[in-house]
Chain A
Amino acid sequence: MTVMEQRGAYRPSPPPAWQPRTDPAPLLPDAEPYRVLGTEAAAKADPELLRRLYAHVVRGRRYNAQATALTKQGRLAVYPSSTGQEACEVAAALVLQERDWLFPSYRDTLAAVARGVDPVEALTLLRGDWHTGYDPYEHRVAPLSTPLATQLPHAVGLAHAARLKGDDVVALAMVGDGGTSEGDFHEALNFAAVWQAPVVFLVQNNGFAISVPLAKQTAAPSLAHKAVGYGMPGRLVDGNDAAAVHEVLADAVRHARAGGGPTLVEAVTYRIDAHTNADDATRYRGDAEVEAWRDHDPVQLLERELTGRGLLDEAGVAAAREDAEAMAARLRERMNQDPQLDPADLFAHVYAEPTPQLREQRALLEAELAAENESREGTAR
């Protein structure tokens, strides 16, 4: 008997620990972004929802224009506009229940406003009188997150905590195409899938991370495909079609609420304005591209659908615009008032109780302010 015969016949087999994994096919996104407006699917859409979305995107467009104008007047330090992305902003806010949570990025003040946050409070960060102007617990909107994708694990943790407590709460987290390259995007999606946390991730793929186009950001078939690697469904939607975004997000929210775990939604949209008022978009993209997207405008898409089907008449269009103008006028008026600042606030909320060191520093600043006042009064005399 040879040694080989003693050992027995060699039978090829998979590695012992290997187990067939879940079938990725159901997780894959569609080949094309899902659309509703202008398609047969529109007939099934709730007319009331369409009208509501319309009123909000018209307001949203006006809000973006007003905020941008306020930067030119020096009333805002900076404004990252979501002009062209109103469908995503509005749908993300409207799809949630009151008890749910929204996790916006810095470009998503409109989503916060659409959810009910006072616009002046939503713009506090960008005016520069404080960082977060609103109470996150009032409308369950997390602070606007400036560091990219870092708000995503927060959404996962909050949703996980809610589930541990037995509460019916879904978290919807917003991020841009650039943000998907960040490590926190990966870690958040992985945690969410492992924990089966009730989270919906909405990626607004607006084509650019400041100046860098998507092609330099990823080699993935689509951003929605990234979901498959985490074991969650990926959905691709026309981000300028408010009805489609709302429907896809509503499905994802329902899925999460039912215990089905997270979903990644990629909404294909376009940032019509520059990154912020401080950016020059002509350095990295051509007018033709922008014009093509203007023809696929979220406000126009809804308006055409509604008027075409007789769900909205001239008077309805005019009423929506008047409502938006009134909102802009109120915002303008309030933003034209100087915010009340108290330098002592700088020390008030660093800790629950100021440390002895911060108390000393507060006293130093108070002395400086007193001296300033004294010299000002002296000059006045």
Chain B
Amino acid sequence: MTTVALKPATMAQALTRAMRDAMAADPAVHVMGEDVGTLGGVFRVTDGLAKEFGEDRCTDTPLAEAGILGAAVGMAMYGLRPVVEMQFDAFAYPAFEQLVSHVAKTRNRTRGKMSLPITIRVPYGGGIGGVEHHSDSSEAYYMATPGLHVVTPATVADAYGLLRAAIASDDPVVFLEPKRLYWSKDSWNPEEPQTVEPIGRAVVRRTGRSATLITYGPSVPVCLEAAEAARAEGWDLEVVDLRSLVPFDDETVCASVRRTGRAVVVHESGGYGGPGGEIAARVTERCFHHLEAPVLRVAGFDIPYPPPMLERHHLPGVDRILDAVARLQWEAES
């Protein structure tokens, strides 16, 4: 195999590298989806894979998401390890029946005789100026479906490590890629030995003593920015990046909240029926006697995703997060 002179620096490139390394390590790994071959994907995340591994390993499929995922099920039944790209969050919905009725249930249905190691990559979330149907936060649908792992990276290194873990997993993984972070860069050095992150572990991105911001995916950088801004108000905020929505890392989250005594859940997804409700309930059930204030949520509004010229009003930003932090009953402390 030839070594491509690739210098992954962005999240998109780290994802490409993860698939490339997985494909090189295991001939069972097949990438498939719309425009993933010749074009390299509309976000270029599969760039070069068809050229390097051939079109049988990185395949442009007909434009039909249920067909793509349904075919991936059959391929997985036969021992392959498909990595499916859904082009956008809202374009993954036609595949929902295959996902819910087959991908998520087959292991259980067959008492473990038949597993479906499929990775379903879904670019999700807003903030890129996309027109309607290009910016949904669909994670709550997937979280509500037993049998799926639901993972979302917030850093370049995690994009690599978590995608490798997802592809290696013997369970189906919905891998949500925050599309506005595709072009984000951080200090990840692709030349160093890469770690494969275990699925199901949250990580403390920033330590702090005053309150915990519990977040994931595209909202992680926003929370880190809010935590910096909060210093001016005298708050030292901790930021927990969940990384995995299913399974949920109660341990890391609760350890943080017990330390700080206050928590705000931050995500783009709508608040009603969104992940924040579940997270707030879990934290309250486990950390009630450590809490100085109710767990608050900063979420997208309960509206269809707005047109691009209005989306900034919808997305949780630094100010809205700080306003929530301000409501965490600090009076009692002074």
Contact B147 A350 (CB under 8 A): yes
Q: Majority SS of interface residues in chain B?
A: mixed
Contact A184 B247 (CB under 8 A): no
Q: Which residue of B lies closest to A130 (CB)?
A: B111
Contact A154 B64 (CB under 8 A): no
Kindly provide the distance from the CB of B60 to the nearest chain A CB, expressed in whole angstroms. 10
Interface string of B68-95 (1 = CB under 8 A from A): 0111111111111010000000000010
Interface string of B82-118 (1 = CB under 8 A from A): 1000000000001001100110011111111111000
Does A319 touch B at the CB level, under 8 Å? no
Contact B74 A351 (CB under 8 A): no
Contact B73 A345 (CB under 8 A): no
Residues of the B chain whose Cβ atoms lie less than 8 Å from the Cβ of A187 = 62, 64, 66-67, 70
Given known contacts A162-B78, A357-B248, is B108 in contact with A157 (CB within 8 Å)? no
Does B61 touch A at the CB level, under 8 Å? yes
Task: State in angstroms the CA–CA spacing of A237 and B146 once bound together.
Answer: 42
Contact A157 B101 (CB under 8 A): no
Contact B113 A153 (CB under 8 A): no
Contact A156 B106 (CB under 8 A): no
Residues of the B chain whose Cβ atoms lie less than 8 Å from the Cβ of A132 = 109-111, 113
Kindly provide the distance from the CB of B71 to the nearest chain A CB, expressed in whole angstroms. 4
Residues of the A chain whose Cβ atoms lie less than 8 Å from the Cβ of B149 = 351
- A153's partner among B30, B74, B250 (CB-CB below 8 A) is B74
Task: State in angstroms the CA–CA spacing of A162 and B78 once bound together.
Answer: 7
Contact B107 A349 (CB under 8 A): yes
Does A365 touch B at the CB level, under 8 Å? no
Kindly provide the distance from the CB of A144 to the nearest chain B CB, expressed in whole angstroms. 9
- B112's partner among A142, A191, A349 (CB-CB below 8 A) is A349
Kindly provide the distance from the CB of A370 to the nearest chain B CB, expressed in whole angstroms. 23
Q: Which residue of A lies closest to B246 (CB)?
A: A355
Contact A194 B79 (CB under 8 A): no
Residues of the B chain whose Cβ atoms lie less than 8 Å from the Cβ of A150 = 70, 97-98, 101-102
Residues of the A chain whose Cβ atoms lie less than 8 Å from the Cβ of B109 = 131-132, 143
Contact A160 B108 (CB under 8 A): no
Contact B108 A349 (CB under 8 A): yes
Task: State in angstroms the CA–CA spacing of A215 and B109 once bound together.
Answer: 35
Contact A135 B78 (CB under 8 A): no
B window 37-58: CB within 8 A of A: 56
- Total interface residues on B, CB under 8 Å, equals 48
Contact B62 A157 (CB under 8 A): no
Q: Which residue of B lies closest to A173 (CB)?
A: B74
A-B contact count (CB 8 A): 139
Task: State in angstroms the CA–CA spacing of A348 and B115 once bound together.
Answer: 13
Residues of the B chain whose Cβ atoms lie less than 8 Å from the Cβ of A17 = none
Does B200 touch A at the CB level, under 8 Å? yes
Contact A131 B66 (CB under 8 A): no
Contact A161 B79 (CB under 8 A): yes
Task: State in angstroms the CA–CA spacing of A157 and B108 once bound together.
Answer: 21
Contact B77 A157 (CB under 8 A): yes
Given known contacts A158-B78, A357-B248, is B70 in contact with A131 (CB within 8 Å)? no
Does B170 touch A at the CB level, under 8 Å? yes
Residues of the A chain whose Cβ atoms lie less than 8 Å from the Cβ of B62 = 187, 190-191, 194
B window 11-32: CB within 8 A of A: 30
Contact A161 B75 (CB under 8 A): yes
- A184's partner among B61, B66, B78, B170 (CB-CB below 8 A) is B66
Residues of the A chain whose Cβ atoms lie less than 8 Å from the Cβ of B71 = 153-154, 156-157, 160, 191
Residues of the A chain whose Cβ atoms lie less than 8 Å from the Cβ of B112 = 348-349, 352
Interface string of A337-356 (1 = CB under 8 A from B): 00000000100111110011
Does A21 touch B at the CB level, under 8 Å? no
B window 141-173: CB within 8 A of A: 146-147, 149, 169-171
Contact A158 B70 (CB under 8 A): no
Residues of the B chain whose Cβ atoms lie less than 8 Å from the Cβ of A135 = 110, 113
- 10 smallest CB-CB distances across A and B, nearest first, come from A157-B74, A153-B70, A187-B67, A157-B71, A355-B247, A158-B74, A161-B78, A154-B74, A131-B109, A161-B75
Given contact pairs A164-B30, A350-B108, A356-B200, enumerate 13 new A-B contacts (beta carbons under 8 Å).
Answer: A131-B105, A147-B102, A153-B67, A153-B70, A157-B71, A158-B74, A161-B77, A161-B80, A164-B80, A351-B149, A352-B112, A352-B171, A356-B247
Give 5 CB contacts A-B under 8 Å. A132-B111, A153-B67, A188-B70, A191-B64, A350-B108
* B residues apposed to A, CB below 8 Å: 30, 56, 61-62, 64, 66-67, 69-80, 82, 94, 97-98, 101-102, 105-115, 146-147, 149, 169-171, 200, 246-248, 250-251
